[in-house]
């Protein structure tokens, strides 16, 4: 062993699980052991981290009872490191508890006096290789986006390899086929290599996986339909949707099928806050963790990120790595009126809807969402905004109500003026904006994801120390 060597704080490597007569064994034979105190005949202790979570081998204390020694093997033909130290783990009880039977490789971290051994799932190993080999690390597959969140990704340098977008026909559509409207709006705003205009519940996930594999796509960005998780929809209507199968509550399962087939290194999911406490999400997060993802989740209010509306959203970011990830930092909420800067100039072009029965009913029952001279933010726009429902957003001035046009909606949701809805009808454009993300907040989240992805890439290229996320 070379004596004059700079010893790092940690060293990592991967090793294969081997077979032996008793079952399985793990032999850690490496130059790194002596650098971290595991010298010839040093006494060590093997300890379980947790069920399926791995093993720690540490230098023994005087009080420890179950001790082993660091073994050595001599190679007379070797000039380089003829005396090789090794850890030989053969306890089937320990291995069975610490390393799942399906595991073929383990990840090892060496630090002074401690060797940490964790299982790598095959799925995770493939994701690591994909992240390592991806030529353009900022590449995305966008699902259930009508364009706003995809535009946010594109503005931050992500290439959109593929998009899955299909607007389901609803009863109110009558005989109109609107399944292509979201897709049309999407490709009017961002370049997409492959467009999949198919129902997420019916799409061939193997075909999707082939596109992802061929393009080496790193990130899945998905916005699941929120109708059946929002408190705007009544319990009775949610139950009716379950009965007649018009519910979208099972889309989490559809998303999991795509993730399972395509095995993305990173996943960014957006939903309404109610999704976080649902059984659908509990299943989704559990499965992702079992597949080796580290899951970060947050309920975010656009007002805490410089936003002009009270829009709240649930975000989940799942990553194959534990390299630094942090949500954007919050800022102080706006406390001054938005009237002069954002509303007043729009008033001349807004429709007076004071006469509308639904608007009057909404005002009478308290459901109407009002912007007035004292407002420091706009209420949240809904998908149904253009239908002038009881819970629509209106501008109130001297007892009269004015209806926000699509340009004012975009302004308040901080969507760039360059974002176009001209490929679809005015009604569909309002629906797309009404159910979209707050652009500024979403872009800050995309920036956090981008930073994480770039850190991972640097680590995989050997520029920084990398930590993996492991299956529970």
Indicate the pLDDT class of residue 236, thresholds 50, 70 and 90.
confident
Residue 470, pLDDT score = 47
Q: Which residue has the tokens 């956090």?
A: 448
Residue 128, pLDDT score = 81
Q: Greatest CA span in the chain, whole angstroms?
A: 97
Task: Identify which has the larger pLDDT, 425 or 227.
Answer: 425
Model confidence at 224: pLDDT above 70: yes
**SS3 at position 326:** coil
Picking from 219-228, 232-241, 282-291, which range would have the lowest pLDDT averaged per residue? 232-241
pLDDT digits (tens, 9 = 90+) for 351-384: 999 999 999 999 999 999 999 999 999 999 998 8
Residue 184, pLDDT score = 95
- For 41-66, what is the mean pLDDT? 94
Indicate the pLDDT class of residue 83, thresholds 50, 70 and 90.
low
CATH hierarchy code of domain 339-434: 3.90.120
Indicate the pLDDT class of residue 79, thresholds 50, 70 and 90.
low
Q: Which residue has the tokens 């806050």?
A: 273
Residue 471, pLDDT score = 44
Residue percentage of the chain with pLDDT more than 70 = 90
Indicate the pLDDT class of residue 240, thresholds 50, 70 and 90.
confident
- For 175-192, what is the mean pLDDT? 92
Which homologous superfamily is 126-332+438-460 in?
Vaccinia Virus protein VP39 (3.40.50.150)
Model confidence at 462: pLDDT above 70: no
Question: Quick one: angle between helices 439-460 and 148-155, nearest 10?
Answer: 50
pLDDT digits (tens, 9 = 90+) for 6-40: 888 999 999 999 999 989 999 998 888 999 999 98
Q: What is the per-residue DSSP string for 358-421?
A: HHHHHHHHT--EEE-TT-SSBPPP-TTGGGT-TT-EEEEETTEEEE--HHHHHHHTT--TT---
Model confidence at 259: pLDDT above 80: yes
What is the Cα–Cα distance from 157 to 155, expressed in whole angstroms? 6
pLDDT digits (tens, 9 = 90+) for 320-349: 987 679 999 999 999 999 999 999 999 999
Which long-range contacts does 351-356 make (Cβ < 8 Å, 24+ apart)? 351/402, 351/403, 351/405, 352/400, 352/401, 352/402, 352/403, 353/388, 353/394, 353/401, 353/402, 353/403, 354/399, 354/400, 354/401, 356/388, 356/401
User: Other CB atoms closer than 10 Å to residue 291's CB: what's the count?
Assistant: 20
Cα separations in angstroms, 322 against 76, 165, 217, 459:
42, 31, 20, 11
Lookup: tokens for 72: 């050595």
Q: Chain-wide mean pLDDT for the chain?
A: 89
Model confidence at 464: pLDDT above 60: no
Backbone angles phi and psi of 95, in degrees to 5 = -65, -40
Across the beta sheet with 43-50, what order do the strands follow? Answer: 11-16, 105-111, 114-120, 54-59, 43-50, 68-69
Spacing of C-alpha 257 from chain mean position:
15
pTM of the model: 0.76
User: Do β-strands 11-16 and 105-111 pair in parallel, antiparallel, or remain unpaired?
Assistant: antiparallel
Residue 234, pLDDT score = 66
Sign of the CA dihedral with 347 first, then 349, 353, and 355 last: positive
Backbone angles phi and psi of 185, in degrees to 5 = -65, -40
Indicate the pLDDT class of residue 74, thresholds 50, 70 and 90.
low
Which residues have CB under 8 Å from 283's CB, separation 6+?
252, 253, 256
What is the Cα–Cα distance from 456 to 133, expressed in whole angstroms? 12
Cα separations in angstroms, 418 against 146, 273, 409, 414, 433:
15, 29, 14, 11, 14
Q: Among 196, 192, 182, which Cα is nearest to 148's?
A: 182
Residue 450, pLDDT score = 95
- For 398-426, what is the mean pLDDT? 95
Residue 174, pLDDT score = 74
Model confidence at 388: pLDDT above 70: yes
Domain edges within the chain: 11-120, 126-332+438-460, 339-434
What is the Cα–Cα distance from 447 to 149, expressed in whole angstroms? 13
What is the Cα–Cα distance from 170 to 175, expressed in whole angstroms? 10
Q: Among 222, 211, 258, 200, which Cα is nearest to 150's?
A: 222
Residue percentage of the chain with pLDDT more than 90 = 66
């Amino acid at each position: 062993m070379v004596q004059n060597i700079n010893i790092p704080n940690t060293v990592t490597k991967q090793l294969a699980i081997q077979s032996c007569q008793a079952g399985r064994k793990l032999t850690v034979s490496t130059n790194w052991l002596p650098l971290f105190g595991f010298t010839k005949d040093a006494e060590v202790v093997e300890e379980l981290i947790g069920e399926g979570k791995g093993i720690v081998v540490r230098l023994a204390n005087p009080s420890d009872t179950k001790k082993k020694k660091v073994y050595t093997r001599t190679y007379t033909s070797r000039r380089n490191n003829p005396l090789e130290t090794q850890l030989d783990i053969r306890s089937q009880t320990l291995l069975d508890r610490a390393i799942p039977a399906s595991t073929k490789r383990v990840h090892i971290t060496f630090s002074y006096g401690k060797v940490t051994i964790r299982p790598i799932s095959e799925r995770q190993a493939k994701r690591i290789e994909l992240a390592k080999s991806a030529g353009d690390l900022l590449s995305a597959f966008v699902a259930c986006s009508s364009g706003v969140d995809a535009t946010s990704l594109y503005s931050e340098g992500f290439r959109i390899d593929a998009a899955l977008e299909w607007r389901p026909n609803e009863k109110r559509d009558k005989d109109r086929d609107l399944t292509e409207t979201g897709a049309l709006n999407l490709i009017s705003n961002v370049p997409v290599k492959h467009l999949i205009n198919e129902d997420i519940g019916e799409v061939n996930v193997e075909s999707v996986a082939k596109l992802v594999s061929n393009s080496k796509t790193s990130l899945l960005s998905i916005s699941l339909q929120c109708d059946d998780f929002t408190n705007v929809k009544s319990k009775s209507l949610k139950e009716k949707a379950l009965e007649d199968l018009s519910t979208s509550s099972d889309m989490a399962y559809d998303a999991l099928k795509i993730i399972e087939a395509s095995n993305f290194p990173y996943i960014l999911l957006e939903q309404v806050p109610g999704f976080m406490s649902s059984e659908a999400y509990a299943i989704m997060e559990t499965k992702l963790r079992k597949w080796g993802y580290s899951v970060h989740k947050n309920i975010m209010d656009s007002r805490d990120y410089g936003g002009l509306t009270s829009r709240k959203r649930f975000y989940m970011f799942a990553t194959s790595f534990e390299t630094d990830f942090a949500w954007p930092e919050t800022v102080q909420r706006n406390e001054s009126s938005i009237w002069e800067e954002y509303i007043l100039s729009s008033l001349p072009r807004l429709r007076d809807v004071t006469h509308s029965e639904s608007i009057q009913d909404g005002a009478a029952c308290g459901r109407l969402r009002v912007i007035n001279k004292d407002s420091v933010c706009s209420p949240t726009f809904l998908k149904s905004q253009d239908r002038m429902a009881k819970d629509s957003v209106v501008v109130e001035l001297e007892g009269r109500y004015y209806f926000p046009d699509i340009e004012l909606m975009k302004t308040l949701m901080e969507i760039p003026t360059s974002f176009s809805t001209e490929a679809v009808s005015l009604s569909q454009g309002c629906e797309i904006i009404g159910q979209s993300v707050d652009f500024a907040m979403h872009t800050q989240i995309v920036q956090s994801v981008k930073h994480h992805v770039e850190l991972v890439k640097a680590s995989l290229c050997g520029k920084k120390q990398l930590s993996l996320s492991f299956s529970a």
